Amino acid sequence: MTSNAPLTILVLGSGGREHAMALCAKQSLRCGRLLVSPGNAGMPGERFNIAVNDVEGVVALCVDQKVDLVLVGPEAALAAGIVDALVAADIQAFGPTRELAQLESSKAFTRALANTLGIPSPRYATFAKGQADDATKWWKNLDTAVVIKQSGLAGGKGVDVPTSTAETIAAISAACAIGEVVVEECLRGPEVSLIALCDGTTAIALPIAQDHKRIAEGDLGPNTGGMGAYAPVTTPYATDELCALFIQPVLDHFAALGTPYKGVLYAGLMLTDDGPRLLEYNCRFGDPEAQVLLSLLNTDLVEIVLACIGGTLANVSVKIKSASALAVVVVAADYPANPMLGDIVTGLAIEELQTNVYHGGTESRNGDVVTSAGRVVTVVGVGADLATARDYAYKRVEKISFAGSYYRRDIAWRAPAASLTTYSGAGVDIDEGNRAVELLKESVASTSNDKVLRGVGAFGGALDVSFLKEFKHPVLVASTDGVGTKVELAARTGRVRGTGHDIVNHCINDVLVQGAKPMFFLDYLASSRIDAEMVAEVVAGMSAACADSGTVLLGGETAEMPGVYAPGAFDIAGTLVGVVERDELLPRSNIAPGDVLIGLASSGPHTNGYSLLRKIFEWLPLNVAPPPLTRPLIDALLEPHRSYLQLLSPLLVDTRLKALVHITGGGLVENIPRVLPCGVSAKVTLGSWPTPPLFQLVEQLTSLGTDELYRTLNMGIGMVLIVSATDASAVQKLIPEDSWIIGELCASVSDSDEVVLL
């Protein structure tokens, strides 16, 4: 056979991964004849019915059919020693030997090797079959959550992540009854797949991918073989950096031993707050990662495979399309526990340029394609960006049907958050808003007089109205505000009553921080089309909030504005007027370094940061509750803005209270300075109050810096009191709910006031 002669190629396997490999092989200029075994109903090539772990049968097939090259798909074949046997028969095979395939077939082997090579990994221990008591004792001494893994192959399902003491003990007992077990520290962070092509000395990494192992949306439920994937993934680390840390040391180690690793090496990584950590190694393409990555490959796969086998990978230019790909796996009913099989699958024959449909669990029966395994098909969309690829994939998925079919609707749901580093990335620019305030101050000042005590930049306007005879020296305090983009979520889900509470309570808090109690409220509601029921629902929320605070709802304006608002969209604004004695106006003039900040809990994001929140959760169904949430996401997002009036009214005339700060747009970082005198700054101690689950989830998902995060969202603190350190304990006792000392005031190093997060 000459170096460029057509090859007879066998693809070994029967899943979506092998379908993608077979399609690439068929498209290769080096492929003269394509064989697949055992294959499926959709794979190209001549089908043979030899099991992947039937080593003798596969070798006999290759000899009989004069196969030149074997592309090994599943891990079971590698663990059975298929590569060793094929090479012994003088047949080229793509994959590691049985000895090196222990990187996947034995998690104990992998952990020991990673420890030897200094590869960043979780703390772990290995236990033999029956050693459940020893494993439980080790876990208790570790004193943290753990992951229990069967050491051997388990088809991607041999991992248990218990969430309680009882579940952990049960999981350890069950795993130790089966065989060797690895118990390791449970890491937190996004999980990604680093897949590299290796020729024994050189490794070329493909784009970072992310698999979705859990069966249910929001990454809930039991592990599966994979429900979807996408690539490339945005991470804080360069692909080459990760390859040098997790792939190259393994290649160098085995090369030094004279047993070079050739094939695919797949590192499953967890990107923790302390850096990337190794979860596992696999010795083959992932499924469904292969379907995504091979859809992006722009170099002949067979040429790459031959270079890996021949040790010449450094001479091959591996090119990747400048695009994104997203895979959605459609599974049978009751997968993964007991999938229903034998159902007819329709909609497979449609061909679209932007999508590939890879068969996984299919067979032919009487001219029909029927389900034969749990993961039936994988649909991959390819587009210029991830959103486009995702749109293509889901539109194609909708055309495929079989009884009880199921797929996750949230593939890549973490991606929008991962790409955000500033609030402006979600379409809101806080700095530009601040600049606008500065530009309009001059215009506002031109209308001012000696009666104006608080103007633009404060929480609300304050006007001296001493003609109110029941007061010694009354001051009217007014606040006008809106609910913001939170209304989009309310409109989309039909849960609008809470927005009425939002607008009233926001305005109440804005006058409250100046010591004023509300007198009356005026509302403004605009929409694309007047919907009487919707308006009544919103106003009912306003009415309830006003009644709770002893405020009169005078009415307001309703505007119908087609062409200005999108169909179904609406907006709410309102004005609230309160009154306070002038000598009780907050903030007081005795704020000084050494004073402390007392934080009161928010009820949620209140009415700020929703452009960011909607972007983060854009691809996640709102009825799911990904950890650490304990209730549906939509409930957490639409929790109404709370009023602090009843809670703080007794303190308004207490001279120990120096100031109140309503944590609205700009968060702790931007709002606390609004009450500080020149030369005084604030230090806020992060972790001094419990972070609510929704904000924990946002912090896990995004790459926003600490300052950006805490000036975008309230992070669980909705109101701040400033009191002297000596009065703090007494003041806290007057507050009938939990409160926290979250920081202190100090002398500023410059003329400007600021907030430092510690």
Q: What is the 3-state secondary structure (H, E, C) of 185-239?
A: ECCCCCEEEEEEEEECCCEEECCCEEECCEEECCCEEEECCCCEEEECCCCCCCH
Residue pLDDT, tens place only, 505-514: 999 999 999 9
Question: In this model, does residue 166 exceed pLDDT 80?
Answer: yes
Residue 457: what pLDDT? 60
Average pLDDT (178-186) is: 90
Residue 449: what pLDDT? 52
Distance between CA 163 and CA 442 in Å, rounded? 58
Residue 154: what pLDDT? 66
Residue pLDDT, tens place only, 93-148: 999 999 999 999 999 899 999 999 999 999 989 999 999 999 899 898 998 898 89
Least confident of 178-187, 383-392, 605-614, 742-751: 742-751
Distance between CA 48 and CA 41 in Å, rounded? 12
Percent share of the chain, pLDDT over 70: 92
Average pLDDT (2-15) is: 90
Residue pLDDT, tens place only, 204-234: 999 999 999 999 999 999 889 999 999 999 9
Please say whether the beta carbons of 95 and 83 come within 8 A. Answer: yes
Question: In this model, does residue 442 exceed pLDDT 90?
Answer: no
Question: In this model, does residue 520 exceed pLDDT 70?
Answer: yes
Average pLDDT, the chain: 91
Question: In this model, does residue 672 exceed pLDDT 90?
Answer: yes
Residue 700 CA, chain-centre distance (Å), reads 7
Residue 440: what pLDDT? 38
Percent share of the chain, pLDDT over 90: 74
Nearest to 377 by CA among 354, 394, 361, 398: 361
Residue 663: what pLDDT? 96
Residue 676: what pLDDT? 93
Please say whether the beta carbons of 247 and 205 come within 8 A. Answer: yes
Residue 155: what pLDDT? 60
What confidence tier does 458 reach under pLDDT thresholds 50, 70, 90? low
Nearest to 661 by CA among 745, 580, 578: 745
CA diameter of the chain: 107
Please say whether the beta carbons of 252 and 182 come within 8 A. Answer: no
Distance between CA 48 and CA 256 in Å, rounded? 39
What confidence tier does 756 reach under pLDDT thresholds 50, 70, 90? confident
Element of type H or E holding 168: helix 165-178
Residue 460: what pLDDT? 59
Residue 429: what pLDDT? 59
Residue 734: what pLDDT? 96
Average pLDDT (566-585) is: 91
What confidence tier does 456 reach under pLDDT thresholds 50, 70, 90? very low
Question: In this model, does residue 547 exceed pLDDT 60?
Answer: yes
Least confident of 30-34, 369-373, 469-473: 469-473
In the chain, what are the domains? 7-94 (3.40.50.20), 97-106+188-321 (3.30.470.20), 123-186 (3.30.1490.20), 323-412 (3.90.600.10), 416-434+588-758 (3.90.650.10), 449-585 (3.30.1330.10)
Structure token digits, residue 332? 């049978």
